[in-house]
């Protein structure tokens, strides 16, 4: 089955700096890669996703890049703000598996004011 690895497990950045989280996946048939943000004590919420036919996608301060050849994808947060402090999860799924997501282990991001 699919295996998703996520690094780093924790990330501390100064407010205004950028944060980058990287994920690798094992199943070359995976074609959908969402990112979820989970604030302390809250539920995970989708923040951005990318499909395998696209190399990069941006939404305001966040962007995701995908390298299908290397089987890795990354989340980039620019101009970080204290409200970006949360745990971020990457995930992967493939069309044949429907909407069954395999998640990475999560990255705890702390933005220091």
Partner 1 sequence: IAGITQAPTSQILAAGRRMTLRCTQDMRHNAMYWYRQDLGLGLRLIHYSNTAGTTGKGEVPDGYSVSRANTDDFPLTLASAVPSQTSVYFCASSERGAATDTQYFGPGTRLTVL
Closest CA to 4 of 110, 86, 107: 107
Contact assessment for residue 83 and residue 60, using Cβ atoms and an 8 Å cutoff: no
Cβ-based nearer residue to partner 1, 77 or 92: 92
89 in contact with partner 1 (CB under 8 A) = yes
Task: In angstroms, give the least distance from the CB of 38 to partner 1.
Answer: 9
**Which window, 13-21, 36-44, 56-64, 70-78, contacts partner 1 (CB under 8 A)?**
36-44
Answer whether 10's CB lies under 8 Å from 33's CB.
no
Cα dihedral 21, 6, 103, 67, rounded to 10, equals: 70
SS3 sequence of 43-69: CCEEEEEEECCCCEEEECCEEEEEECC
Among 75, 104, 109, 111, binds partner 1 (CB under 8 A): 104
Among 37, 44, 74, 77, the residue binding partner 1 under the rule CB under 8 A is 44
Q: Does 45 bind partner 1 (CB under 8 A)?
A: yes
Q: What is the DSSP letter of 99?
A: T
Interaction site with partner 1 (CB under 8 A): 1, 4, 6, 9, 31-32, 34, 42-46, 49, 51, 89, 91, 93-95, 97-106
């Amino acid at each position: 089955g699919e295996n998703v690895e996520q690094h780093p497990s924790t990330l501390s950045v100064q407010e205004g700096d950028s944060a980058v989280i990287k994920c690798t996946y094992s199943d070359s048939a995976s074609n959908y890669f969402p990112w979820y943000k989970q604030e302390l004590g809250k539920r995970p919420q989708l923040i951005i996703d990318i499909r395998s036919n696209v190399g990069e996608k941006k939404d305001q301060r966040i962007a995701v890049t995908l390298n299908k050849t290397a089987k890795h994808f990354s989340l980039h947060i620019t101009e970080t703000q204290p409200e970006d402090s949360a745990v971020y999860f990457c995930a992967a799924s493939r069309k044949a598996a429907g909407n069954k997501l395999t998640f990475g282990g999560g990255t705890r991001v702390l933005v220091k004011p």
